Chain A
């Protein structure tokens, strides 16, 4: 579904990603871990098409298409979803209105009829249950004044509404309380299918107890320096990153 080959990206001339290789197949869950500043969010942003990040080398193929060639909105319409580490506030625009616009543009791209108000609302009701999000939150301005946890929950709610093929969750667990973590993870699990894939960026093993990864990768200095199974996450939890850093830095 997603093939990343030798991906290099820079911000204002500073290289941040230095040769990422990753293969994600339908039905898989990949966890990406790594120290702060190692490039995890950058990778997510590059995949989503953020302009500030200049791809200097490499390619990304998504469902047979050159992903890097598509505008950000078209990547979304093709089924790439990014749950932001820091969701953005849009004053005066309700979540409902925002999602309605988004969903109908996605549908249009896929050659589907727009949803009318009734169908849209019933879809919303259904998905609201999935992540146990309050209607009140959705009628407020998007993310404005939301608590950290509410913002994260709203990201997963949007994911549920848009039904992406590839979901990238950037530290969705940070800011969630213990119950919310379970609820949101359950939501993500229910949305999984044999045709969809998930990339979870996280610092904590705890999330991976709920969303169980098939692979765990460690990103360091813009490269995937180690890959393994979910046991790798346990090892990292116990030992931290120093041993990996040493390995890598010694090899240079």
Chain B
């Protein structure tokens, strides 16, 4: 608790602090998108033919698709021909160990508060960092390898474990799933890959940091997590981007596979640049995340803390295929100024006795719009399916909006689905009460908001919970009084 307060204090009166960009020589694709570019990317990454074919197939599918417009967000259309689809920090040779990595790149991560060095190793967290398009370094590989765990960049996985990649890539999120997933499938540049063999409990948090650095670059990471039967892994993703006037596109795909009795905990703290007070700049975050509880008694748990991006479109979902499998979704989405978020989840109950739990906490401030969109679907076969959804909205001021769109589709009469929703305003009474005890208004807001979001924050690993708390405080800076 002492730490929290200290950090809260430290972080009040700061603007988006990750807003800097580093000049380094980038090895980048020409602007625009066509088959040539895709071939260029694939060649650059020395990919096998099957993957190039896969990309091209996705590209052709994408060309025939329409950009979705159903989300409760408005933004100028993205000109896909004005983007760059690959930008790698230039390196003369491939790094074999951390020592060989460009110190300037490492310095970037230091500034992000991620240290890829021994310090982090001591904390027992394995980190893979993705800057623009290329995965920079994966720590701890040796330790993990002894257990048969693979944790590396996606490109490396394509080279070292092609059979695994081939087997699972697109198996949870098919390349034609939606517009942005198809785009990602065509042009994805890098990302993280994790494989936990049967019966292995991953002894440490696996974590990836993404950062968009180059201008006019889209970032399209692909994350694939495979947990074989009876395995366990907790995986965390963090994101930042520099402050820029123009909007940048981020369209990632995350796929999770959980075998029988396997458990995957996926947490993310998303802090892409949200644009300035007037809505200039900021990241368009159009992400497809889905997990499949393929085996019986498996469990997938999504936890997200969304504080950044100008526009967010994101619905981490669970397909509960195995009998007795469990899906969870815990979300805090904060919007301030001109931010727009349309986020939620889908829980698809297929197996018997499947359970899902949704806890969504929206916080809107400024002139922002915050929508929860959730779908609970119970298929015919899913007898005794259970769902509990709790969707709360907290409003700060009267110029913002909170919206809830629950969709429920039940095809088995034994299902029990509960949905609770509340909307509240941050109380002047509460703030005054804090003030009267000597707490400043900014800190009062942070305290109240963190209390409100506690059920979700509690799901995060300790050190990330602290980070998430300070991000919440930072995002809501100046939104009251």
**Co-assembled chains A and B:** yes
Enumerate chain A interface residues (CB-CB to B < 8 A): 48-51, 71-73, 75-77, 81-82, 84, 87-93, 96-106, 109, 114, 116-117, 120, 141, 158, 162
B49 interface residue (CB < 8 Å to A): no
Check if A100 sits within 8 Å of B432, measured CB to CB: no
B118 to chain A, nearest CB (A): 28
Q: For the complex, what is the distance from the CA of A10 to the CA of B437, rounded to whole Å?
A: 24
- Complex contacts, A71 vs chain B, CB 8 Å: 435
| B451 touching A82, Cβ below 8 Å | no
B450 touching A92 by the CB < 8 A rule? yes
Cross-interface CB contact of B429 among A82, A88, A100, A114, cutoff 8 Å: A88
21 contacts between A and B (CB under 8 A): A51-B432, A73-B435, A88-B427, A88-B430, A88-B432, A90-B433, A90-B434, A92-B451, A92-B452, A93-B451, A97-B4, A97-B447, A98-B447, A99-B437, A100-B2, A101-B439, A102-B434, A103-B438, A105-B438, A105-B443, A114-B2
| Main DSSP-derived SS at the A contact region | helix
Cβ A84 vs Cβ B433 within 8 A? yes
| A76–B448 CB distance below 8 A | no
Contact B438 A76 (CB under 8 A): yes
Which chain A residues lie closer than 8 Å to B432 at the CB level? Answer: 48, 50-51, 72, 88
Query: Does B439 lie within 8 Å of A87, measured CB to CB?
Result: no
Asked if B1 and A93 make an inter-chain contact with CB atoms under 8 angstroms apart, the answer reads: no
Interface of B is mostly: helix
CB < 8 Å A-B pair total: 93
Contacts of B434 in A (CB 8 A): 90, 98, 102
Q: Is the CB of B451 within 8 A of A72?
A: no
Known: A96-B1, A100-B2, A106-B438. 20 other contacts (CB 8 A): A71-B435, A72-B436, A73-B435, A73-B436, A73-B440, A76-B438, A82-B436, A88-B429, A90-B434, A92-B452, A92-B453, A92-B455, A97-B447, A98-B447, A100-B1, A101-B439, A102-B437, A105-B440, A116-B2, A120-B2
> Among A76, A96, A100, A104, which residue has its beta carbon within 8 angstroms of that of B436?
A76
Residue of B nearest to A84 (CB): B433
A76 with B435: CB separation less than 8 A? yes
B454 touches A92 (CB 8 A): yes
Which residues of B have CB within 8 Å of A91?
A: 451-452
Q: List B446-481 residues whose CB lies under 8 Å from chain A.
A: 447-448, 450-455
B-chain residues with CB within 8 Å of residue A117 when the two chains form the complex:
1-2
